[in-house]
Amino acid sequence: MPGKAIGNLSQARVLISNDDGINAPGLKVLERAIKEIAREVWVVAPEHEQSAASHSLTLRMPLRIRKVSARRFAVSGTPTDSVLLGMKQVMVNRPPDVVLSGVNRGGNLGEDVTYSGTVAAAMEGTLLGVPSIAFSLVTDDAKNPKWSSAEHWIGEVMRRISALTLPGGVLLNVNFPDVHAKDVTGIEVTRQGRRKIGGAFQEGRDPRGENYYWIGPQREEDRFKAGTDLEAVNRGAVSITPLGLDLTHTRTLTALGELL
């Protein structure tokens, strides 16, 4: 698949989605920021929260699209469903020039990207041949995220990457640090760090006497490995990580070929 330039959004049609749902504050933050710089903004997002939905596609039940207002639609499915229907149904007469996802409440760092519905929405846009970017806000205070910091820096990120041509099968994963806008140290290009959720479970017993297990938010992570998304955001920088959809491990591919 040939690459496409992100381009100057002043002449672009932009499709926005997320995984926190059509009413999420982070979605409104991204809308406001992009409406300041883009010619035309469309929103097609899940009806309800779909966090950790990953790149799941609804196959065994029908999907419905609800028009919320002008150029705003809610889909009874996943982030992937939303982008797919956004491009193939809502914007079918003229597809978007760019797909943006977020702003997620909580970082998508390291291995988070394999679970993230926010990143998955950008993956779907990428698979459909449109330059796509996922935005997330790292926060230790889920009740009071620093949305204004993300809103302030979104435009600067888009300005700096406007000349970039993304190869086919590549998307950008952007994480804003948990600091006020004035305290952001800059924008850095990073690689994916090490951060695995599921290190702790809460065990309980339901009213019927059956055991249940609840996966907590705790993560095993390395915040100090230089050059990674985790290290950058923990220093107060905006992190931009290019992600490839081709998961083939080239070195092992070669070794396996030699062996067989």
Average pLDDT taken over every residue of the chain: 92
Q: 96 lies in a domain? A: yes
Q: 228 lies in a domain? A: yes
Residue type, 235: R
Q: 204 lies in a domain? A: no
Rounded Cα distance between 207 and 87, Å, is 45
Q: 81 lies in a domain? A: yes
Cite the DSSP H helix spans in the chain.
25-35, 79-85, 112-115, 117-127, 147-161, 229-234, 250-259
User: Annotation-wise, does 104 bind a ligand?
Assistant: yes
Average pLDDT of the segment spanning 119-139: 97
State the residue for tokens 């797909």.
Answer: 99
Q: Which residues pair with 99 in a beta bridge?
A: 15, 132
Rounded Cα distance between 232 and 209, Å, is 46
Residue 218 above 80 pLDDT?
no
Q: How is 108-172 classified by DSSP, letter by letter?
A: --TTHHHH-HHHHHHHHHHHTTS-EEEEEE--S-TTS--HHHHHHHHHHHHHHHTTPEEPTTEEE
Average pLDDT of the segment spanning 226-252: 94
User: Annotation-wise, does 19 bind a ligand?
Assistant: yes
Q: 203 lies in a domain? A: no
Please tell me the least confidently modeled range out of 49-63, 85-99, 115-129: 49-63
Q: What range does the domain containing 54 cover?
A: 4-195+222-259
pTM above 0.85, yes or no: yes
User: Annotation-wise, does 51 bind a ligand?
Assistant: yes
Residue 222 above 80 pLDDT?
no
Q: What is the pLDDT of residues 152-182, one digit of tens each?
A: 999 999 999 999 999 999 999 999 999 999 9
Residues 6+ apart with CB under 8 A from 105: 20, 24, 25, 26, 137, 139, 142, 145
Q: 232 lies in a domain? A: yes
Please tell me the least confidently modeled range out of 52-61, 132-141, 215-224: 215-224
pLDDT for 5 equals: 87
- Among 170, 226, 220, 23, which Cα is nearest to 105's? 23
Q: 217 lies in a domain? A: no
Secondary structure (3-state) at 256? helix
Per-residue pLDDT band for 113 (boundaries 50, 70, 90) equals very high
Q: What are the tokens at 239? A: 């992190």
Whole-angstrom CA distances from 51 to 44, 73, 199, 233 are 16, 18, 18, 21
User: Annotation-wise, does 144 bind a ligand?
Assistant: no
Q: 42 lies in a domain? A: yes
Residue 221 above 90 pLDDT?
no
CATH of the domain at 32: 3.40.1210.10
Residue-wise burial string across 196-208, b where 16 or more C-beta atoms lie within 10 A, e elsewhere = ebeeeeeeeeeee
How many domains, the chain? 1
